Amino acid sequence: MFSPDRKVREAYEPGQVLDFGDYKVRLRVNERARRISVRIDNRTGDAIVTAPRPKYLKDAVEFAKTRHDWILQTRRGQTRPVPFSPGAQLSIKGYPVVLAERAGVISPKAEQVDGSWQLVSSGDAATFSRRVERYLRTQAQKTFQAETDRLAAKLGFSGIKVSLFDAHARWGSCSPSKKSIRYSWRIIMAPTDVLVYLAAHEVAHLRHPDHSPAFWATVTELYGKPWKPARSWLKTRGHELFKYAAARDLKGQGE
């Protein structure tokens, strides 16, 4: 067990991983952060401590020590991510969908049965899960590209390159100089309003690479309604999108 009296290195760097005995602590710097914070990685169970500047990493480590009991309690309450499997219920672009298995269906396809939607595919456990994830990624790419193009046009931008990622620390990122935006593919499983808000948020960064009042005014302009409920959903329920394991976690299984 980790002891608060245990000595650790005093020279810290972003990305460094510390072994606290019962768990590991990853150090992170985010210049947009207003204070030191600690959260639990939904996939690995590691504690991630974030500081606004590298010089505050030592203070961040000390803060993590004070949160030892909270970290242990939170990790105990976590459930390990599971593969996408037949019978699972999820949301795709706001529509409730049930995953179903049918032999020979290599490329997943959506079907409506008695008024309800099913996403049908085949394969052993790992293969089925990979195929469903590929389908979701394809839907996310198409949806975010279309939404990004629509919103960017309102600001006079075009030719924005959209790509996907699977980070646990953020839902999207924008590189104005490169005219590129990255989104978490998992947002395709979030409510539609949340997806549109995220697109509006990242597109607004094309004009304002900060979180100034002017930036939020642009988000409001693009989103067209109060955006705080969508932002709150990401903060309070976004962790639910990590219920399912990513294909990388199924390496060596199935196809």
- Between CA 182 and CA 235 the distance in angstroms is 19
Q: For position 3, what pLDDT does the model report?
A: 46
The beta-strand segments (E) located in 12-132 are 17-19, 24-29, 37-40, 47-51, 89-92, 95-101, 109-113, 116-121
Q: For position 6, what pLDDT does the model report?
A: 46
Q: For position 67, what pLDDT does the model report?
A: 87
- Between CA 63 and CA 109 the distance in angstroms is 48
For residue range 219-238, list pLDDT tens digits in order.
Answer: 999 999 999 999 999 988 88
Q: Is 0.75 topped by the overall pTM?
A: no
What domains sit in the chain, N to C, each tagged with a CATH number?
17-76 (no CATH), 89-248 (3.30.2010.10)
C-alpha separations of 130 from 146, 170, 178 in Å: 24, 23, 31
**Average pLDDT per 10 consecutive residues for the chain, totaling 255 residues:** 47 90 90 89 82 92 89 72 93 95 95 92 95 97 98 97 88 96 97 97 97 96 96 87 81 51
Q: For position 69, what pLDDT does the model report?
A: 82
- Between CA 238 and CA 154 the distance in angstroms is 28
Q: Any alpha helices (H) in 88-191, and if so which ranges?
A: 125-154
* Cβ–Cβ under 8 Å, residues 98 and 118: yes
Q: For position 179, what pLDDT does the model report?
A: 96
- Between CA 126 and CA 251 the distance in angstroms is 9
Which residues share a beta bridge with 216?
A: none
- Between CA 136 and CA 190 the distance in angstroms is 12
For residue range 12-34, list pLDDT tens digits in order.
Answer: 999 999 998 888 899 999 988 88
Q: For position 128, what pLDDT does the model report?
A: 96
- Between CA 199 and CA 147 the distance in angstroms is 7
